[in-house]
Amino acid sequence: MGALVNAAPIQRNAKGPKVGPIQIRLTCPAKDGFRAITHIFGAAAGPATARLMQYVHDRSFCDTTMRDKDWIGYGQLLATGAEPIEAFEAAKAAVAACTSATNKSDLLDAAMDRRMLLAPVVTIADLLSSPQFAARQYFQVPPSEPDGLRFPGPFAKFSGTPIQYQRSAPALDAHREEILKELISDPAPDIADGPAFVVNPTDSRPLAGLKILDFMWAIAGPQTTRALADFGATVVRIESSSRLDVCRTVAPFMNHSSDPEESALFHGANAGKLMLTLDLTKPEAKEVIFDLVRWADVVCESYSPKAMKAFGFDWETLRTINPKLIMLSTCLMGQTGPLAMYAGFGNLAAAITGFHEVAGWPDREPVGPYGAYTDYIAPRYNGAAILAALEHRRRTGEGQYIDMSQAEAAVHFLSPAILDYVANGYVTKPMGNADLQYAPHGVCPAKGADRWIAIACEDDRQWQALAKLVGIREDDPKFVSAAKRKENESKLDALVRTFTCYKDADELMGLLQAQGVPAYAVKNSAEAVIDPQLNHLRHFHHVEHPSGW
């Protein structure tokens, strides 16, 4: 939340992040569609941008002067005026010209070969024919229904207790008698007594006493261990001062600083943890890590599949040191498959799993969900996987290894679109804020500059309450049923917008909610910080920072 650290407010911008005059581009055309791209700078992403520009040069779409820019420090050059904005615009145009002349599959091959931050924008149909998901046997059919529909598979691969689906989704109330009979006749399951870890008796939080060794970086990994720390776990985080976490280089910073210790993004993902700085290439560091492995209940890492083995900290090694250890490895595409070594962030995973062709507008190029979308889905699954493995260890005394693919976890959020395709052959397309069934459903202008309110009517009762306020006859034949409202959606939206545009967003929100109409004023960062509901729930907490914040 930028407003909490006195950062400049972020403006809505579907083209990608914009800092002053610097417009970052997140999608580029390809010969047969579109590609997501991370064309940014700094210590973390700058080397990948340099490799991208080398590729653009090798394809004869830029000269050596453009290729050889300081892509690590390029953001600072733009910010100070040492590099004109026009030069960056020319570089973006060169990249777009290169990708426009190349098929998505060839660009993906190049991204793998050269470790570039590029990903194909795929449809739901493309997703179901992905060689990566096929290699990991992700999409499944219940064994009990061999001719049934394919659906997303396990959200994680557990070495000791693999998730197995035995039957399809049940019909309404299909197993009433079976469940009631089981409840009456079966005794409670016979499980071992005692907790899954040594409990801290002085701390009432549910995970107090749980010990975690954290090799996570960026967002998807650290957000997982941040949540576990919130519930009482002791998390020791390992980082190298020579290879900083990418989040330390990403705005917003506290009070407009550029100090890597003052990135609000980093602190938001790592509050509540203990920090230890080690150079993992040094033999002395290995002994420290092995001591921590003996201490830990759980080891978490989010490097590429080869990294932990290269350090000498792979699962087979660590389990010999601590046989009851639980280890979670989470990366973009999982530990196996043809794209296992694919490098990227959550915005690229969102593109490669179909989100870019679901979110956005039908008359514009894909934009996808905001930011590194799958980075904020995966932590919930990571945390659930760790807790499940801890419960298994409580019952059996056994540790295990968890292979978590960020992409596979996120695909579960696309289940309705996948079902619509496998059952009906319909490929979901972007439709802005509209809904497949409900109308009105969207964001309407309110009184004032850039003020908006979100409204959704899910049933006739909500619609009738809204119609009365707007001044629309309930028996108007164009809107008398949900199907008619959807059929005449553009006319309905125009009437609702005419009503909302003269009303204060917060006052209108209160009026609509009082009548049972789902509505909420659209908030920016500064408004969210003072939102009465969030503060009533004590959502924001003040934590001291060494710099005085």
pLDDT in 10s for each residue of the chain, 549 residues: 678 888 777 777 766 777 778 888 889 999 999 999 988 888 778 999 999 999 999 999 999 999 999 999 998 899 889 999 999 999 999 999 999 999 999 999 999 999 999 999 999 999 999 999 999 999 998 877 777 888 999 999 999 999 998 878 888 999 999 999 888 876 665 555 678 899 988 999 999 999 999 999 989 999 999 999 999 999 999 998 777 888 887 778 887 787 888 888 898 999 999 999 999 989 999 999 999 999 999 999 999 999 999 999 999 999 999 999 999 999 999 999 999 999 889 999 999 999 999 988 998 888 888 888 999 999 999 999 999 999 999 999 999 999 999 999 999 999 999 999 999 999 999 999 999 999 999 999 999 999 999 999 999 999 999 999 999 997 899 999 999 999 999 999 999 999 999 999 999 999 999 999 999 999 988 899 999 999 999 999 888 877 755
**Maximum Cα–Cα distance for the chain, whole Å?**
78
Give the three-class secondary structure for 30: strand
Residue 414 φ/ψ, nearest 5 degrees = -105, 10
The Cα-based distances of 28 to 97, 439, 475, 531 in angstroms read 9, 33, 47, 37
Residue 74, Cβ density class (10 Å: 0-12 exposed, 13-18 middle, ≥19 buried):
buried
Contact 55, 110 (CB under 8 A): yes
Q: What pLDDT, on a 0 to 100 scale, did the predictor assign at position 399?
A: 97
Angstrom distance (rounded) from CA 265 to CA 507: 32
User: Do 211-416 and 441-536 come out as alike in CATH topology?
Assistant: no
Q: Which residues pair with 19 in a beta bridge?
A: 22
| pLDDT the model gives residue 138 | 97
373 three-class SS = helix
Token pair belonging to 199 = 């409990």
**Separation of alpha carbons 433 and 193, rounded Å:** 51
The yes or no reply on domain 441-536 and CATH 3.40.50.300 is no
What is the enclosing helix (H) or strand (E) of 144? none
Q: Among 493, 487, 463, 491, which Cα is nearest to 475's?
A: 463
Taken as a whole, the chain contains a residue count of: 549
Q: Identify which of 139, 183, 146, 181 has the alpha carbon closest to the alpha carbon of residue 167.
A: 146
Give SS3 for 413. Answer: helix
- For residues 61 and 93, give the distance between their C-alpha atoms in angstroms, rounded to a whole number: 9
SS3 190: coil
Instruction: Pick the closest to residue 221 from 210, 229, 231 (CA basis).
Output: 229
Please count the CA atoms within 13 angstroms of the CA of 413 that sit on its side-chain side: 21
What pLDDT is recorded for position 188?
60
Side-chain-side CA neighbours of 171 within 13 Å: the count stands at 1
Whether the bond between 518 and the residue before it is cis, its omega within 30 degrees of 0, is no
Domain ranges of the chain: 2-120, 211-416, 441-536
d(CA 529, CA 1): 8
Residue 548 has a pLDDT of 59
Contact of 43 with 249, CB cutoff 8 Å: yes
Candidates 232, 239, 221, 376; CA nearest to 297 is 232
* In contact, 38 and 344? CB cutoff 8 Å: yes
Residue whose C-alpha is closest to residue 74's, from 55, 57, 97, 52? 52
CATH superfamily, region 211-416: Crotonobetainyl-coa:carnitine coa-transferase; domain 1 (3.40.50.10540)
* Phi–psi pair at 385, nearest 5 degrees: -65, -45
Evaluate whether 429 touches 420 at the Cβ level (below 8 Å). Answer: no
Residues 6+ apart with CB under 8 A from 288: 276, 278
16 within 8 A of 23, measured Cβ to Cβ: yes
* C-alpha distance from residue 211 to each of 226, 233, 312, 386, 541 (Å): 13, 6, 21, 12, 24
State the DSSP string of 238-266: EEBTTB--GGGGSS-BGGG---GGGBHHH
Instruction: Reply yes or no: is the peptide bond before residue 440 cis, omega within 30 of 0.
Output: yes
- Structure tokens that stand for 316 in this block: 């087979």
Question: Are the CB atoms for 218 and 375 separated by under 8 Å?
Answer: yes
Bridge partners of residue 402, in order along the sequence: 158, 328
Closest by Cα among 265, 269, 263 to 221: 269
